[in-house]
Structure 1
Amino acid sequence: MANLSYILCFFFFTLCLTSPVLSRVISENPRTTSLDIPSSIHKTLTVFSPLGFQAEKSVESQKWEFSSPSAFSLPLHSRLAVRGTSERDYKSLTLARLERDSARVQSLQTRLDLAVNGITKADLKPMEMELEDEKLEGPIISGTSQGSGEYFSRVGIGHPASEVYMVLDTGSDVNWLQCAPCADCYQQADPIFDPVKSSTYSPLSCDTKQCQSLDVSECRNNTCLYEVSYGDGSYTVGDFVTESVTFGGSAAVDNVAIGCGHSNEGLFVGAAGLIGLGGGALSFPSQIKASSFSYCLVDRDSDSTSTLEFDSATPPGAVTAPLIRNSKLDTFYYVDLTGLSVAGNMLPISTSALKLDDNGDGGVIVDSGTAVTRLQTDVYNSLRDEFVKGTRHLPSTNGVALFDTCFDLSKKKSVDVPTVSFHFSNGKELALPAKNYLIPVDSSGTFCLAFAPTSSSLSIIGNVQQQGTRVTFDLANSLIGFSSNKC
């Protein structure tokens, strides 16, 4: 009998080791994951190396490619690769990024609050801006602060096409760029667009659907004027027109409604304007009737490029989650996130903490412009506390800005940290790479947990957590797909 028991135990032990199903569960759901410390610190130093980036060379040599006969794509560059930085060291760069990020998050929440509470332009005190001796009146409304725009694409505007850098933003709808004559323009990397030189420039009249879809508009000689204002005091005002938008000198889209801004002010980081990728009627995907679009955000401290693609299929093997919409505000893309886990342990959070309610409040959006993922305070505290339990072997250090959980890893070559995963309502799980949530904040070995609490009801999955992942917005099937290492 003893021998039989031994044989049975050995048999089941061997089965557990060799069974494809059981071994897959073990390999796909580890409790810890490794982070390469020297590699991460090296990237923070490369940013300030004279030979670190060769942005102009990489931009000029980039070729636009088509994924399929019905799809098109364009290059995606990190802000740092295009613009460089005036900061003296990586900690200063981090603090500047976090300051911009906080302004953007506040702006997103304020915009949602206005929509949820049904506040319209008639309810707000208008502000006046001078535009070629005409006054355009509209409310001070909050939108997305472009100060935190971290990803750019190069597109052609007009015919012949004038190539400019544009910020890409899933948190806004109206496309716009600075135009001559310029009453008030901020500094941008390329020459100001001159509509006189474009044969495809066409002003929109006030009775057009595009003009009437604007939150704030005005008429002047039966031509449509637009205004977009942001929570940090930034704004753009000008003529609302249609123009040709060209990708790589070959793939042109005609009659795109776009703002031609003659008065612009704010922290727009040197881009000529913005391409709105939101869900509203005036966004670029909506105007071209795209069934889907996707992007892959490369490392912000890298000069490598990726692509923004339209009408391409979700990559095989993607982790998909339900895409839900807010009846009060159609701009944002909400994902049906139902929970989070740390080291394989589900966090004890209420079901309502991440839910979009019937009034349009709460929920979780996926945003390309927000850097750091924001979670309601109770959810964040639960995440942080569980993460701290699994990192007691690491030397802790003082917090940095909005990060309250930081470590001194200057003497480490590699560390094992608890896994962090998102869990969706369809049962799917997205496990994050360690480098997407334990990030360097200086070049001395200080690493911080890259999540932050928010007192607002809106949670945001930011671009630090999206880096290295192709995010597909399948608009036709109401799904969001996450595909690791598909840049």
Structure 2
Amino acid sequence: MATSSSILCCYTLFIIFFFFLLILHMLLIEKNSLVSVRWLTGEYHLNPLGSSVSATVPIEEGVFFGTHKFIVTIYLGSPPSPYSLVFDTGSDVTWMQCIPCEKCYPQKDPIYNPFESSTYASIRCHSDYCSQLNTYDCSWTDNCLYEVQYRDGSYTKGYLVQDTLQFSYDIIKNFRYGCGQNNSFSVPKVDGILGFGRGPLSIISQTAQSYDLVFSYCLPSKPGIIGYLSLGSDVGIDAIHVQYTPMITNEMMPSFYFVKLISITVGGDLSAHSPTVFKSPRTMLASGKKAMLDSGTVISRLPPITYYGIRNTFRKYMANYPRAPSWGILDTCYNFTNYQDVNVKVPRITFEFDGGVIIKLDISGILLGTTKSKQCLAFAANKYASDKVIIGNVQLRTFNIVHDIKNLRIGFGADGCS
């Protein structure tokens, strides 16, 4: 009788120990593997914040790739593989280079092979998804072909397909993107683009039910510092620290994010109206100008008369510092080799947007350079007064920027990141 009890006790302890090891094993998988337990069970892993959800990934300047654009890492396919993509609010289609390649440039990560993913699927030419593209065609197998051209001459061509995308710990099933087989990209070694425009194929539109058409980001001030890119809204932070200006829709370019820029001030105190480049709110708007926020453009582009006003005022403030040769489109550069950083006095530059939103640019939003011997005013003139005004990623650095598409507003919060 005692022997049977001992055997039963030992058996029970063995069962408990077995389940303990099983639970520990599963926890270690979730912590250390690229594939979480939620992925394995096919469930979403969402982070509730009040009535909304959010998912956040790190973002950093792509100096490793030879660019001042900003890079995020997402995971695609089943099993998932990591890919480094340019964060771009100025385009809709997410794409990456795919096997088989007709023409592919060298990239850091292995080129994506869709046939190694169990969740990959092609999209038919006559589907609604295909017709959402600005430019599309049909292959001889009736699959959807896409093509995207960019202002800098870059392009991508290939098949519109779908697969499972992992953004932080959240799983986006049937995510539609471009499988690029003929590509030319101005950013070397990067795998492709993550499109955050307002069009139906952008990631923010495809995830509207989960994240309520809200995303936010903070672009860090310099290489080596990490910022963030978030799908969804942290309502606590947004409500307290962010000022909103109306989001304007341009009927000719409905996917882009436009705001009304009232004035730009160089030096002085905006409340004292000294000295403003735009002499009145009407100066910029007289020809119907609005300003487009574009994370995929590095340098802000301004109307010629506006740029020269800013440049000339800036040069007066910086008259005591030695000049350096121009750098590409940047024509106002300085050599600070003989100065300590704390001794360089740069005039403040302030933007005023519609709705009374005023932001003071960080020093990283005023000067751009690679060494102390060449630091340049990070603005450039458009060729024509009628060209699109763009606020590039340099001027957006360190702010917590919120795109609230549902409520048609864009928010700016100071000190979002360093």
Q: TM-score over 0.5 for the alignment?
A: yes
The letter for the 2-side match of 1:208 is S
One-letter code of the match for 2:376? C
Any conservation in 2 of the 1:279–1:332 contact (CA below 8 Å)?
yes
Distance (whole Å) between structure 1 residues aligned to residue 156 and residue 325 of structure 2: 40
1:347 aligned partner: 277
Match of 2:391 in 1: 461
Residue 213 (structure 2) aligned to one of 274, 291, 296: 291
Matched, 1:321 2:245: yes
Label 1:235 to 1:396 Cα distance change in 2 as closer, same or farther (>3 A): closer
User: In structure 2, what is the equivalent of residue 447 of structure 1?
Assistant: 375
The question of 1:163 aligning with 2:82 is answered yes
Q: Counterparts of 1:18-417 in structure 2 under 5 Å?
A: 66=47, 68=49, 70-81=53-64, 83=65, 85=66, 150-220=69-139, 221-248=141-168, 250-289=169-208, 290-300=212-222, 302-312=223-233, 313=235, 314=238, 316-342=240-266, 343-344=268-269, 345=274, 346-349=276-279, 351-355=281-285, 362-413=289-340, 414-417=343-346
Uncovered stretches (5+) of structure 1, i.e. residues with no partner = 1-59, 86-96, 98-147
Asked whether the 8 Å contact 2:364–2:397 carries over to 1, the reply is no
Identity of aligned residues (%): 32
Q: How far is 1:74 from its partner?
A: 1.4
Deviation of residue 463 (structure 1)?
Answer: 1.2
Deviation at 1:438, TM superposition (A): 3.1
Relative to 1, partners in 2 of residues 1:153 and 1:443: Cα closer, same or farther, differing over 3 Å? Answer: same
Q: Deviation string for 1:54-103 (max 9, x for gaps)? A: xxxxxx99x9995836111112122124x3x5xxxxxxxxxxx6xxxxxx
Aligned-partner Cα distance in 1 for 2:253–2:180: 25
Q: Deviations over 1:2-53 (max 9, x none)?
A: xxxxxxxxxxxxxxxxxxxxxxxxxxxxxxxxxxxxxxxxxxxxxxxxxxxx
Q: Structure 2 counterpart of 1:78, which letter?
A: E
Per the alignment, do residues 458 and 207 of structure 1 end up closer, same or farther by CA in structure 2, a change over 3 Å counting?
A: same
Q: Indicate how the Cα distance of structure 1 residues 415 and 305 shifts in structure 2: closer, same or farther if over 3 A, else same.
A: closer
Cα-to-partner distance string for 1:203-237 (whole Å, 9 max, x where unaligned):
11122221001122112333211122334543322
| Distance across 2 between alignment mates of 1:168 and 1:191 | 19
Inter-partner Cα distance in structure 2 for 1:268 and 1:348: 34
Q: Give the structure 2 partner of residue 480 of structure 1.
A: 410
CA contact (8 A) 1:322 1:335 kept: yes
4+ runs of 1 displaced by more than 6 Å? none
> CA separation in 1, counterparts of 2:355 and 2:376?
31
Report 1 or 2 for greater relative contact order, CA contacts < 8 Å, sequence distance ≥ 6: 1
Kindly tell me: are residues 180 and 65 of structure 1, through their superposed partners in 2, closer, same or farther at Cα, counting changes over 3 Å? same
Q: Is the 8 A contact 1:225 1:240 kept in 2?
A: yes
SS at match of 1:293: strand
TM, length-normalised to structure 2 = 0.78
Inter-CA distance 233–477: structure 2 relative to 1 (3 Å threshold): closer
SS in 1 for 2:171: strand
SS in 1 for 2:309: helix
Relative to structure 1, the CA distance from residue 315 to residue 409 in structure 2 (aligned partners, 3 Å threshold; closer, same or farther) is: farther
Aligned length: 357
Alpha carbons of structure 1 residues 393 and 459: separation in structure 2 relative to 1, 3 Å = same
Structure 2 stretches of 5 or more lacking a match? Answer: 1-32, 37-44
Matched, 1:426 2:345: no
Judged with a 3 Å threshold, the aligned counterparts in structure 2 of structure 1 residues 286 and 418 are, in CA distance, closer, same or farther, namely same
Q: Residues of 2 paired with 1:356 and 1:327: CA distance?
A: 18
Aligned-partner Cα distance in 2 for 1:400–1:472: 32
Alignment TM-score, normalising by the size of structure 1:
0.67
Letter paired with 2:247? L
Report the Cα distance in structure 2 between the residues aligned to 1:400 and 1:223, rounded to whole angstroms: 45
Which residue type is aligned with residue 430 of structure 1? I
Equivalents in 2 of 1:166, 1:356: separation in Å? 38
**2:53 partner SS:** coil
**Residues in 1 aligned to 2:187 and 2:348: alpha-carbon distance in whole angstroms:** 36
Larger Rg, first or second structure (1 or 2): 2
Q: Distance in 1 between matches of 2:70 and 2:186?
A: 14
Alpha-carbon distance between aligned partners in 1 of 2:363 and 2:194, rounded to the nearest angstrom: 31
Residue 353 of structure 1, CA deviation: 4.8
1:435 to 359, 364, 382: 364
CA apart distance, 1:399: 3.8
1:470 aligns with 2:397: no
Distance 1:180 1:232, change over 3 A: same
Structure 2 Cα separation of the partners of residues 450 and 282 of structure 1: 32
Instruction: Report the Cα distance in structure 1 between the residues aligned to 2:187 and 2:364, rounded to whole angstroms.
Output: 28
Q: Which amino acid aligns with 2:415?
A: N
